[in-house]
Structure 1
Amino acid sequence: MSNTFFHIFPHENFIDLGMYQYGYEQCDPGHSFGPVARNHYLFHYVISGTGTLMADDSKGITQTYSIKSGQGFLIFPGQITTYYADEKLPWEYVWIEFDGLKVKEILQLTKLSPDTPVYRSHSKDLKEQLRNEMLYIVHNAEESPFHLIGHLYLFLDHLIQSSKRSNSAPSSKMSDYYIKEAIHYIEQNFQNNISIEEIASVCGINRSYFGKIFKKALGRSPQEFLMNYRMLKATELLKLTSLSISEIGSAVGYENQLHFSRAFKRIYGVSPREWRNSQKKERYHVSQ
Structure 2
Amino acid sequence: MNNPAVSQYKDAQKTAVDIIESAVDIKFNSADDVHIEYGMGASWLTRPFAVITHILKGSSRLYFDMDSSHSIDRSAGATTFISAGAWRKSEVLSVNGAHFVWVRASFTLFGGLDLLNFFYVPRIFPKSSSAAFRGLLKRVIELENDGKMPILEKAVSRKMLLYKILSLVLEHSQPNTNTLELLTLAQRLSPAMTYINSHYDASISVGRLASMCAVSSSRFHRLFQNAFNVSPLEYQIRLRMKEAQKLLLFSDLNIAEIASKTGYPDQFHFSRTFKSRCGESPLKYRTSSEKGRYTL
TM-score bracket for this pair, using the shorter chain length: 0.5 to 0.7
Q: Name the amino acid aligned to 1:42.
A: V
How far apart are the structure 1 equivalents of 2:98 and 2:262?
46
How far apart are the structure 1 equivalents of 2:49 and 2:243?
17
1:54 pairs with 2:63: yes
Aligned residues: percent identity?
12
User: What's 2:76 paired with?
Assistant: 69
Instruction: Identify if the C-alpha distance between structure 1 residues 84 and 186 changes in structure 2 by more than 3 Å, giving closer, same or farther.
Output: same
* From 120, 127, 131, the counterpart of 2:125: 120
- Measure how far apart 1:253 and its partner are: 9.7
1:42 pairs with 2:51: yes
Runs of 4+ with deviation above 4 angstroms: 166-170, 187-193, 228-232, 256-259
Instruction: Identify if the C-alpha distance between structure 1 residues 53 and 183 changes in structure 2 by more than 3 Å, giving closer, same or farther.
Output: same
Indicate the RMSD between aligned Cα atoms, in angstroms: 4.5
Give unpaired runs (5+ residues) of structure 2. 1-22, 252-256, 284-296
Instruction: Identify if the C-alpha distance between structure 1 residues 48 and 157 changes in structure 2 by more than 3 Å, giving closer, same or farther.
Output: same
Number of residue equivalences: 233
Instruction: Identify if the C-alpha distance between structure 1 residues 41 and 137 changes in structure 2 by more than 3 Å, giving closer, same or farther.
Output: same
Superposed CA deviations along residues 213-237 of structure 1, whole A, max 9, x for unmatched, are: 45349xx9431366479889x9xxx
Q: Name the amino acid aligned to 1:137.
A: V
- Measure how far apart 1:187 and its partner are: 5.9
User: What's 1:274 paired with?
Assistant: none
Q: Name the amino acid aligned to 2:64.
A: A
1:138 pairs with 2:141: yes
Superposed CA deviations along residues 152-201 of structure 1, whole A, max 9, x for unmatched, are: 1111111222x232887952554122331222334676687532442134
User: What's 1:178 paired with?
Assistant: 188
Q: Name the amino acid aligned to 1:136.
A: R
User: What's 2:30 paired with?
Assistant: 21
User: What's 2:164 paired with?
Assistant: 154
Higher relative helix content = 2
How far apart are the structure 2 equivalents of 1:195 and 1:167?
31
User: What's 2:222 paired with?
Assistant: 209
* Secondary structure of the structure 2 residue equivalent to 1:16: strand
CA contact (8 A) 1:193 1:253 kept: no
Give unpaired runs (5+ residues) of structure 1. 1-13, 239-244, 271-288
- Measure how far apart 1:18 and its partner are: 1.0
1:164 pairs with 2:169: no
User: What's 1:200 paired with?
Assistant: 210
User: What's 1:96 paired with?
Assistant: 103
Instruction: Identify if the C-alpha distance between structure 1 residues 191 and 128 changes in structure 2 by more than 3 Å, giving closer, same or farther.
Output: same
Instruction: Identify if the C-alpha distance between structure 1 residues 253 and 110 changes in structure 2 by more than 3 Å, giving closer, same or farther.
Output: closer
- Measure how far apart 1:50 and its partner are: 1.0
TM-score (norm 1): 0.61
Instruction: Identify if the C-alpha distance between structure 1 residues 136 and 154 changes in structure 2 by more than 3 Å, giving closer, same or farther.
Output: same
Instruction: Identify if the C-alpha distance between structure 1 residues 35 and 136 changes in structure 2 by more than 3 Å, giving closer, same or farther.
Output: same
CA contact (8 A) 1:30 1:86 kept: yes
Q: Name the amino acid aligned to 1:76.
A: S
